[in-house]
């Protein structure tokens, strides 16, 4: 199957093997049970179940044009299940499975039967439940299908989990990948099957003693090369000519602030994925806060760079819905010069910072604590100039979170407001020399930013009592084109 390139809008290439394997054939199923609720991600982009639960590792799937988003709950007793056909509105169903010790797995379909593979997190074994629909799997009917043999795969480090099942078209066999320990090193283990029921152990496809984890592994093929993604805080990407390697490290495409973002669903045209906000230490929390699970991050789509590196962008369908005029602010009526010199051209939809040292433009929103999406194309003509969008900024411009674009340092980051403030998230980013596209999602305690449709940042913050965003330019003039602010849910709706 093909993945979207940065230069290609959508590629529609379905391989014959997957069709023959039954992944995309079969009559669509309908859920006979009551719907819990419908989530509109153009009103709240961060999915979280309505019953007061949170989400852990997601493992999505796609059948018959419907995207199925399965995700663990905090105490590993339920598999949440949401579906969407437009990638904006998500129907939350009753949990797909209820039991105990349910950890990460995969749901596949073959010849009208649905197979939920999952990790039994106690003994660290792989189990399977089958059903005739994707809505309900009977935990009491689960069967053991794979375990560590303590020879090729050891349990000494308690790593035999996070199974991923797919059809290897060349072999016409089903493959199961698992995070494992082999030769006292982190590995991606391999099992094979003809019928999805009986599995035979094989040597691992990946071993790396420098890794601490190989969680939630997945592979996909593009243009004759295989790509392996796995979580090791952050999420890493390898590529190889063969599924057996050798694997070449390509770098990371998510930072440690978003967890389990290495699982992807495909409709044959593109790959979409999610992750959840990690409980980690931040500048506002000296220690890692307790607990597993949180809100899911913005849905994202893989893009492939010219050099073979993975990038991600927010779901185009969601961005298109957000860009509709409804619930969008009149920024040119709300913009106020705080420092430096600015020209506001509503006809051309341009903010221009003309000061030699830069300046600050406040976007004086009337709402307190608004949740919003902000985007703009930011052009910095001078080599040393930088731009910052301040989220959750106070009207006095003395607090908030800085989403920073720093071309000279080839870096993007989310930081505390103070110049020497702590870092929530940062990563390297190669700027093109043209205007940079910045897209920022701010809702409740979560912030996510995407730059140039290929790099992402994620952060969980405590500030919610203030809300005015601002644009800060340092080191010279700048041009901000097509600025847009879309309101998510308002405070009174929370």
Q: Taken in order 140, 168, 162, 193, is the CA torsion positive or negative?
A: positive
State residue 29's pLDDT score.
53
Question: Which string of DSSP letters, residue by residue, matches 245-270?
Answer: -PPEEEEEEE-TTEESTT-EEE-SS-
User: Which tokens is 227 given?
Assistant: 């790509």
Distance CA 77, CA 97 (A): 8
Furthest-apart CA atoms within the chain: distance in Å = 70
Q: What's the CATH number where 301 sits?
A: 2.115.10.20
In a domain, 4, yes or no: no
In a domain, 220, yes or no: yes
Element (H, E) at 316: helix 316-322
Same domain, 44 and 147: yes
Residue of 467, 477, 296, 307 whose CA lies nearest to 381: 477
Q: At a CB cut-off of 8 Å and minimum separation 6, what does 18 contact?
A: 1, 24, 167, 169, 268
Q: Which of 285, 318, 351 is the last residue of a domain?
A: 318
Residue of 450, 448, 164 whose CA lies nearest to 294: 448
What is the layout of strands, in order, in the sheet containing 310-314? Answer: 264-266, 271-273, 300-304, 310-314
Same domain, 267 and 334: no
Same domain, 285 and 421: no
Q: Which of 318, 342, 359 is the last residue of a domain?
A: 318
Residue 70, beta-bridge partner list: 59, 81
Same domain, 297 and 416: no
Same domain, 94 and 241: yes
Q: Which of 318, 347, 370 is the last residue of a domain?
A: 318
Same domain, 197 and 305: yes
Verdict on whether the full-model pTM lies above 0.75? yes
Print the domain residue range for 383: 323-493
Cα 342 versus chain centre, distance: 36
Element (H, E) at 319: helix 316-322
Q: What's the CATH number where 374 sits?
A: 2.60.120.560
Q: Within a 13 Å sphere around the CA of 3, how many CA atoms are in the beta-carbon half?
A: 29
Distance CA 63, CA 81 (A): 14
In a domain, 11, yes or no: no
Q: At a CB cut-off of 8 Å and minimum separation 6, what does 361 contact?
A: 335, 336, 337, 338, 342, 351, 353, 470, 471, 472
State residue 281's pLDDT score.
86
In a domain, 1, yes or no: no
Same domain, 473 and 331: yes
Same domain, 428 and 303: no
Digitized pLDDT (tens) for each residue of the chain, 494 residues in all: 223 333 333 332 233 333 333 333 333 456 666 789 999 999 999 999 887 788 999 999 999 999 999 999 999 999 999 999 999 999 999 999 999 999 999 999 999 999 999 999 999 999 999 999 999 999 999 999 999 999 999 987 778 999 999 999 999 999 999 999 999 999 999 999 999 999 999 999 999 999 999 999 999 998 789 999 999 989 999 999 999 999 999 988 888 889 999 999 999 999 999 999 988 888 998 777 777 889 999 999 999 987 788 999 999 999 999 999 988 999 999 999 999 999 999 999 999 999 899 999 999 998 877 899 999 999 999 999 999 999 998 878 888 999 999 999 999 999 999 877 899 999 999 999 899 999 999 998 899 999 999 999 999 998 876 778 999 999 999 999 999 999 997 544 44
Same domain, 277 and 216: yes
Q: At a CB cut-off of 8 Å and minimum separation 6, what does 482 contact?
A: 349, 375, 376, 377
In a domain, 58, yes or no: yes
In a domain, 380, yes or no: yes
Element (H, E) at 481: strand 478-487
Distance CA 140, CA 100 (A): 10
Question: Which string of DSSP letters, residue by residue, matches 234-245?
Answer: SEEEEEESSTT-
Same domain, 314 and 330: no
In a domain, 280, yes or no: yes
Same domain, 310 and 377: no
DSSP annotation of 224 reads T
In a domain, 120, yes or no: yes
| Torsion angle in degrees (nearest 10) through CA of 272, 434, 327, 257 | 50
Question: Which string of DSSP letters, residue by residue, matches 445-463?
Answer: TEEEEEETTTEEEEEE---
Number of domains in the chain: 2
Do the beta carbons of residue 343 and residue 359 sit within 8 Å? Answer: no
Do the beta carbons of residue 162 and residue 216 sit within 8 Å? Answer: yes
Pairing of the two strands 310-314 and 300-304: antiparallel
Q: Taken in order 426, 456, 88, 368, is the CA torsion positive or negative?
A: positive
State residue 210's pLDDT score.
92
Same domain, 130 and 169: yes
């Amino acid at each position: 199957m093909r993945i979207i390139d940065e230069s290609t809008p959508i590629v529609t290439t379905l391989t014959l093997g997957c069709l023959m394997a039954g992944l995309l054939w079969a009559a669509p199923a309908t859920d006979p049970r009551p719907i819990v609720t419908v989530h509109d991600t153009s009103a709240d982009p961060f999915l979280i179940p309505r019953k007061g639960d949170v989400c852990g590792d997601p493992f999505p799937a796609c059948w018959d044009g419907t995207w199925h988003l399965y995700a663990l709950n905090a105490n590993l007793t339920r598999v949440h299940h949401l579906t969407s056909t437009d990638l904006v509105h998500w129907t939350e169903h009753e949990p797909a499975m209820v039991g105990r010790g349910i950890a990460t797995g995969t749901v596949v379909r073959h010849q009208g039967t649905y197979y939920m593979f999952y990790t039994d997190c106690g003994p660290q074994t792989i189990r399977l439940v089958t059903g005739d629909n994707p809505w309900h799997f009977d935990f009491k009917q689960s069967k053991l299908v794979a375990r560590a043999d303590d020879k090729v795969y050891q349990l000494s480090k308690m790593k035999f989990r996070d199974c991923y099942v797919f059809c290897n078209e060349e072999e016409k066999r089903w493959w199961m990948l698992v995070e494992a320990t082999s030769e006292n090193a982190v590995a991606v283990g391999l099992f094979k099957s003809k019928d999805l029921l009986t599995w035979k152990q094989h040597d691992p496809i990946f071993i790396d003693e420098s890794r601490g984890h190989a969680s939630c592994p997945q592979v996909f093929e593009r243009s004759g090369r295989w790509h392996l993604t796995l979580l090791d805080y952050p999420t890493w990407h390898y590529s190889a000519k063969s599924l057996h390697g050798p694997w070449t490290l390509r770098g990371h495409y998510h930072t440690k602030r978003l967890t389990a973002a290495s699982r992807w669903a495909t409709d044959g045209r593109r790959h979409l994925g999610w992750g959840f906000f990690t409980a980690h230490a931040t500048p506002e929390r000296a220690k890692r806060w307790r607990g597993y699970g949180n809100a899911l991050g913005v849905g994202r789509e893989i893009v492939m760079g010219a050099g073979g590196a993975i990038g991600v962008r927010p779901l185009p369908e969601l961005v298109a819905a957000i860009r509709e005029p409804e619930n969008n602010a009149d920024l040119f009526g709300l913009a106020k010069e705080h420092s430096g010199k600015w020209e506001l051209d509503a006809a051309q939809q341009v903010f221009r910072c003309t000061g030699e040292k830069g300046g600050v433009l406040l976007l004086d929103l009337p709402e307190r604590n608004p949740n919003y999406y902000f985007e703009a194309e930011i052009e910095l003509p001078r080599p040393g100039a930088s731009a910052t969008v301040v989220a959750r900024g106070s009207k006095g411009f003395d607090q908030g979170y800085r989403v920073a674009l720093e071309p000279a340092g080839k870096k993007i980051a989310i930081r505390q407001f103070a110049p020497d403030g702590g870092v929530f998230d940062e990563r390297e980013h190669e700027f093109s020399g043209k205007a940079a596209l910045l897209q920022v999602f701010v809702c409740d305690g979560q912030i996510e930013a995407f730059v140039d449709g290929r790099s992402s940042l994620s952060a969980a913050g405590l500030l919610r009592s203030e809300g005015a965003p601002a644009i800060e330019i340092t080191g010279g003039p700048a041009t901000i084109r097509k600025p847009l602010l879309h309101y998510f849910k308002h405070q009174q709706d929370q």
